Amino acid sequence: MTVIPTAATPHPAPVITHAEEDHPAYLWRDGHILPWAEANVHASSLGWSTMAAVFEGIKAYANPHTGAQWGWQFAEHYQRFAQSMRLQRMRPEFTPVELADISRELLRANGHTGDTYIRPLAWLSDVTWFTDGESSRTSIVIITEPFSSHLRTGRTVKSCISTWIRVGDNQLSPRVKCISNYQNSRLALIEAKRNGFDQPILLNQAGKVTEGPASCLFLVRDGVMITPSLTSGVLESITRTALIRLCREELGLTVQERDVDRTELYVADEIFFCGTGAEMLPVSSIDHFQVGDGGVGPLTSRLEKVFHDVVRGIHPGYSNWRTPVSHA
């Protein structure tokens, strides 16, 4: 690197790299599997180019008995990724099917055999300053990272209602998994944590319950599973859809998708967050109202077992949700 000293920067700027062990060997970018250190972007494109950026969080789970690794709902995630790009008027050069295949290839290249996160991101790679971005190329990068599942560990979180209002469909639509939407989530999370809670729940402009900063939400009242409707101001969560189906087909429960009042949370028998990152995350209290006995509720626990077994391929059903990732 050639650094020309100036009065303001008399010394060469340090080259900041990640420690070798902090990242996998490879990532995928715009058609190529690249060594991690070679996937650079120019500093001038930081900032505005990411304003419209959209992303996905996807997981692959390992079966502890057979060692098989399964991609979880790759097709659904890459369809939503395409939908987010469409809503940003991006022009991706890769289809959802191609991106799913690439994800399997990258998992193999990085030798990930256990539980692994797959994170695709699309951004406007020609943009250096504010513009509509319509003439820019769309770049896509996919990175992978091992994670530890907390399914069936008994972990619970303390929740609260945020003073921050969830962005609406006519503002920054929560239907678009756009990085910019997460400023709203971040502000709510900061407030909750500074007030001693783990996860906030945001209300919409009408005062109805929406979701957490990065997860959807279910509550149980008198044996009925309830979740805010998809038009209440939530991401069209893939986990939420899968859980609704598992509730009905595996547990025989009634599921309602509807408006939810804040005070319904205070009298709920059980509450849990759900999402790719959250998996299923039971709520022990909400605004200091204890939920049930403060632990994992009985229906939550039953659903969590089914979900755990399905994502790991221990339950043989729902095979179209799982993509085999061969390491042969």
Ligand X SMILES: Cc1ncc(COP(=O)(O)O)c(C=O)c1O
DSSP, res 242: H
Query: Judged by CB under 6 A, which stretch of 5-13, 144-152, 269-277, 311-319 contacts ligand X?
Result: 269-277
Does residue 305 have an active-site annotation? no
Counting contacts by CB under 6 A, is residue 216 touching ligand X? yes
CA distance 264 to 189: 22
Q: Which two tokens stand for residue 54?
A: 């959209």
- 118 backbone dihedrals φ, ψ, rounded to 5°: -125, 125
Among 125, 276, 284, 323, contact with ligand X (rule: CB under 6 A): 276
Counting contacts by CB under 6 A, is residue 188 touching ligand X? no
Query: Judged by CB under 6 A, which stretch of 39-47, 85-93, 255-263, 272-280 contacts ligand X?
Result: 272-280
Residues 42-101 that bind ligand X (CB under 6 A): 57
Among 239, 285, 300, 323, contact with ligand X (rule: CB under 6 A): 239
User: Taking CA 201 as the corner, what is the angle to CA 196 and CA 202, rounded to the nearest 5 degrees?
Assistant: 125
DSSP 75-124: HHHHHHHHHHHHHTT---SS-HHHHHHHHHHHHHHTT--SSEEEEEEEEE
CA distance 26 to 35: 5
Of 168 and 277, which has the nearer Cβ to ligand X?
277
Counting contacts by CB under 6 A, is residue 110 touching ligand X? no
Amino acid (1-letter code) at residue 77:
H
Q: What is the closest distance, in whole angstroms, from the C-beta atom of residue 44 to ligand X in the complex?
A: 29
Query: Judged by CB under 6 A, which stretch of 115-123, 188-196, 219-227, 274-282 contacts ligand X?
Result: 274-282
CA distance 269 to 219: 7
Size, binding site for ligand X by CB under 6 A: 15
Sign of torsion over alpha carbons 137, 96, 241, 154: negative
Among 69, 103, 215, 284, contact with ligand X (rule: CB under 6 A): 215
Counting contacts by CB under 6 A, is residue 24 touching ligand X? no
Sign of torsion over alpha carbons 122, 151, 62, 225: negative
Q: Which two tokens stand for residue 292?
A: 């049930």
Of 41 and 179, which has the nearer Cβ to ligand X?
179
Residues 117 and 59: beta-carbon distance below 8 Å: yes
Counting contacts by CB under 6 A, is residue 168 touching ligand X? no
Counting contacts by CB under 6 A, is residue 232 touching ligand X? no
Counting contacts by CB under 6 A, is residue 228 touching ligand X? no
Of 232 and 276, which has the nearer Cβ to ligand X?
276
CA distance 211 to 200: 8
Of 118 and 127, which has the nearer Cβ to ligand X?
118
Binding string, residues 192-211; x marks residues near ligand X by CB under 6 A: -------------------x
Residue from 177, 193, 208, 305 carrying the catalytic annotation: 177
Counting contacts by CB under 6 A, is residue 133 touching ligand X? no
Q: What is the closest distance, in whole angstroms, from the C-beta atom of residue 193 to ligand X in the complex?
A: 17
Q: What is the closest distance, in whole angstroms, from the C-beta atom of residue 213 to ligand X in the complex?
A: 6
Beta strands in the chain (DSSP E): 26-29, 32-35, 54-55, 58-62, 69-72, 116-124, 138-146, 157-165, 199-203, 209-211, 216-221, 224-228, 255-258, 270-275, 279-286, 289-290, 322-325
CA distance 135 to 100: 26
Q: What is the closest distance, in whole angstroms, from the C-beta atom of residue 42 to ligand X in the complex?
A: 28
Residues 291 and 284: beta-carbon distance below 8 Å: yes
Residues that bind ligand X (CB under 6 A): 57, 185, 211, 214-216, 234-235, 237-240, 275-277
The catalytic residue positions are: 177
